[in-house]
Structure 1
Amino acid sequence: MSYTYPVSMPWLKGRELEYVTEAVSGGWISSQGPYVRQFEEAFAAYNDMPHGVACSSGTTALTLALRALGVGPGDEVIVPEFTMIATAWAVTYTGATPVFVDCGDDLNIDVSRIEEKITPRTKVIMPVHIYGRQCDMDAIMNLAYEYNLRVVEDSAEAHGVRPVGDIACFSLFANKIITAGEGGVCVTRDAHLAEQMAHLRAMAFTKDHSFLHKKLAYNYRMTNMQAAVALAQTEQLDTILATRRDIEKRYDEALRDVPGITLMPARDVLWMYDLRAERSEELRAYLADQGVETRVFFKPMSRQPGYYDANWPSLNASRFSEDGFYLPTHTGLTAQDQEFITDRVRAFYGVL
């Protein structure tokens, strides 16, 4: 179905075409082109980190981070119940076991419940900054220090939230705050971890390229063309974040007095404008008829077929998933677009 107001659209108003044209005209279309390093350096610097490692997706970024930290079979990784399944899959790809922790009212991992899930096998805590809300990283880092654990931040939805863990992993999928179409990037302060991630993403080739591969690795490289787009996007990130902040404010102002709508806690950066609603299925169907696309919340990890646990008690994640969704949220969304969307929501609940 085609929507007049899609839930997401890429914002390509910078030097993307210029950089991609230069990459193609120069013949550097593979992962060896200069834009890969330029993007890595620019994105790492933006995050006050000395090292960046570009790769093929946010999921592969998480996998590289875990592998670089030595996570493997027999290990456990603390993962939120409420997240995109890629977070859990990255753990499973390494042979380790994801251990799920329910969310709090802000949809982020409930830090007060992490400690009870830590065992001698726990190696990493992997918080996810849901929809652009930063987790309670002070508390998470304190736990990591107390139990000698590492921290990998899933920042797929949180470009602009400054990392504090050992490694932060970002997605550059087309619906993210900034994009390369497909792609991901890891940032870290640790030169050794950066070197390991770069080594693993490129099939663990030896320096002499002798085709002797001493460890299981991946072909998770980013192309020079993708990096050209990602660099142009990074150059605009402050402007993009400011524009999205205005979008969040306009939604808040238009919807905060609507009975039946529950606004969610403020976001540190806006990826998607999420809310909860009474009669949410009816509202979403009504909005779809008006040309407004919406998207439901993530489903809890322990309700996923690959991780299903019939013994789980009632979860916040399940409760929020029943009536939560997000509205169109992208940098090109205009005030007029938002007025149309919010007027439709208000009309549904009889608020004129």
Structure 2
Amino acid sequence: MEYKVRFANPAKQYAEHREEFIKAFDDTLSRGAIVNKEELWRFEEEFAKFVGVKYAVGVNSGTSALDVAFQAAGIGPGDEVITVAHTFIASISVIYLTGAKPVLIDVGEDFNMDVSQIEKALTPKTKAIEPVHLNGRLCDMEVIMEIAKRKGLIVIEDAAQSLGATLKMGDGNVKSAGSFGLVGCFSLYWAKTLGGFGNNGMAVTDDPEIAQKMRLMRYNGENREDRKFYYHAHNFLMDNVHAALLQVKMKYLAQWLARRKEIAELYRKELSTVSQIRLPHFKDSRFSDVYTNYVIRAERRDELKQYLQEQGVETLVSWDTPMYRQPLMQPNDIFLPATENVCKEVLSLPMYPELTDEEVKYAADQVRKFYS
């Protein structure tokens, strides 16, 4: 169907920067720079600088970033990793694929890991914590890092949805998503705050040994300098064309993030009087959110979604089922009450930098009309 307000609209962004994209594409291919060349290296350097870390390793998806991170960290059979069930399945699958066991805990009001539950989930087998920064908001990394340091645990951040989100620490320093743990993992899928033309990803770290391991593990375990193979691994390398196109987008990332915050504020202004929904604006001033998704919690969520579709407003539910209820995780006896409730109520409204104020107001007006 034809929507009046799309949930995401990559064609708009492409149209605005078409000439730059074509030039980057042509410059790269006309030199025959297909794989592991200057475009990738420059993009990795720029990305690392933006996040505030020393090293970035370009891969072909956010899932691949998690894969090389867990491998490089040495997590494997007999280990346990604490994470959440309100996330995309990849956050959990990568743990299973190492041979380790995911230990799922509940989420808080902001959809992120409830840090008060971490220590209750610890066992002698716990080796790592995987916080998932959802919807453009960080988990409380100050608490998580304190627990990890005290207990000797590895932290691997699933920052797929939170590039550019920050947290002000107790010492006054402001740190970005992906810069807290041993490795931070990002998705550069087309719908993210910095999205490529298809699937892409990035793993970042301050540890030179981990960075080198991840570089080898993204390329079948091969060291391209001595042409020897050091690990059994996959081919996850980000290709040069994608890197070149992402570097074009990188120039606009700061203004796109600022625009997302403007849209979020406009939604808040337009929807603050609707008592049947809860908006994703939280009181803790330490956090600066980037609104990768604008996720409300709504009474009669499914009816609202259907009504909005009829009015031409495209929305998304992520996710309507806790991941521990998916077929691949059966059988289990897991029950997380906050996660169960979230899955019944969440609805993502349209959110992308090219949205006009008029489109935001139209979408908000339809929400108000539904509950009036």
Tell me the TM-score normalized by structure 2: 0.90
Structure 1 residues 92 and 312, CA gap change in structure 2 (3 angstroms): closer
Deviation at 1:314, TM superposition (A): 4.7
Query: Equivalents in 2 of 1:175, 1:81: separation in Å?
Result: 22
Choose from 180, 204, 224 the match for 2:221: 204
Q: Is the CA contact (8 Å cut-off) linking 1:131 and 1:272 kept in structure 2? A: yes
Distance 1:207-1:39 versus aligned 2 partners, 3 A rule: closer
Which position in structure 2 is the counterpart of 1:7?
7
Q: Secondary structure at the match of 1:106?
A: coil
CA contact (8 A) 1:81 1:109 kept: no
Q: CA deviation at 1:243?
A: 0.6
The residue type equivalent to 1:64 in the other structure is: V
Which residue of the partner structure matches residue 102 of structure 1? 106
Alignment of 1:177-256 (within 5 A): 177-181=193-197, 182-207=199-224, 210=227, 213-256=229-272
One-letter identity of the residue aligned with 1:17: I
> Partners of 2:118 and 2:194 in 1: how far apart?
31
Distance 1:4 1:57 in 2: 31
The whole-number CA distance in structure 1 between the counterparts of 2:330 and 2:186 is 27
Q: Does 1:90 align with 2:94?
A: yes
Structure 2 residue runs of 5 or longer lacking an equivalent are 166-175, 283-287
The match for 2:351 is 329
1:279 aligned partner:
300
1:2 & 1:94 partners in 2: Cα distance? Answer: 43
Residue matched to 1:166: 182
1:70 is aligned with what amino acid?
G
Post-superposition Cα deviations, 1:215-248, rounded to whole Å, max 9, x if no partner, equal: 2111000010100111112221111110111010
Contact 1:111/1:140 (<8 A) preserved? yes
The answer on 1:295 being equivalent to 2:300 is no
**Pick aligned residue for 2:33 from 20, 25, 28:** 28
Does the CA contact (< 8 Å) of 2:80 and 2:101 recur in 1?
Answer: yes
| Cα distance between partner residues in 1 of 2:205 and 2:318 | 30
Q: Which residue matches 1:55?
A: 59
Does the aligned pair in 2 maintain the 1:180–1:229 contact within 8 Å? yes
Given residue 283 of structure 1, which amino acid in structure 2 is its aligned partner?
A: L
Q: How well do the aligned residues superpose, as a CA RMSD in angstroms?
A: 1.6
Q: Tell me, what secondary structure is at the counterpart of 1:270?
A: coil
Q: Are 1:339 and 2:361 matched, yes or no?
A: yes
The letter for the 2-side match of 1:243 is: R
Report if aligned partners of 1:301, 1:308 keep a CA contact under 8 Å in 2: no
**Distance in structure 2 (CA, Å) of the matches to 1:207 and 1:134:** 36
Kindly provide the amino acid, as one letter, of the partner of residue 146 in structure 1: R
Which residue is 1:140 aligned to? 144
Deviation at 1:69, TM superposition (A): 0.4
TM-score w.r.t. length of structure 1: 0.94
The answer for the alignment partner of 1:315 in structure 2 is 337
Instruction: Supply the AA of the counterpart residue of 1:7.
Output: F
- Residues 8-58 of structure 1 show CA distances to partners (whole Å, capped at 9, x for unaligned) of 2333445333212211222212x2231100110000011111100000000
Report the alpha carbon displacement of residue 330 of structure 1 after superposing the two structures with TM: 0.8
Alpha-carbon distance in 2 for matches of 1:272, 1:294:
11
Structure 1 gaps, min length 5: none
Alignment-mate amino acid for residue 18 of structure 1: K
CA distance in 2, matches of 1:46, 1:101: 31
Runs of 4+ in 1 over 6 A off after TM superposition: none
Determine if contact 2:222/2:231 at 8 Å carries over to the other structure: no
C-alpha distance in 1 between matches for 2:333 and 2:99: 23
What is the CA-CA distance between 1:323 and the residue it aligns to?
A: 1.6
* Maintained 8 Å contact 2:267/2:360: yes
Deviation at 1:91, TM superposition (A): 1.1
Cα 1:295–1:207 shift into 2, 3 Å: closer
Deviation at 1:304, TM superposition (A): 1.8
Residue type at the aligned position of 2:110:
D
In the other structure, the counterpart of 1:37 is 41
Aligned to 2:168: none
Write the distance in 2 (CA, Å) between the matches of 1:208 and 1:55: 19
Identity of aligned residues (%): 36
Deviation at 1:264, TM superposition (A): 2.5
Do 2:216 and 2:230's aligned partners in 1 also have CA atoms closer than 8 Å?
no
Q: How many angstroms apart in 2 are the aligned matches of 1:220 and 1:21?
A: 24
Residue 206 of structure 1: how far off its partner (Å): 3.9
Report the alpha carbon displacement of residue 214 of structure 1 after superposing the two structures with TM. Answer: 4.0
* 3-state secondary structure, aligned to 1:295: coil
Q: 2:173 aligns to what?
A: none
Partners in 1 of 2:230 and 2:45 — Cα distance? Answer: 28
| 2:8 partner letter | S
Deviation, 1:121, is 1.7
> Are the equivalent residues in 2 in contact too, given 1:23–1:33 (CA < 8 A)?
no
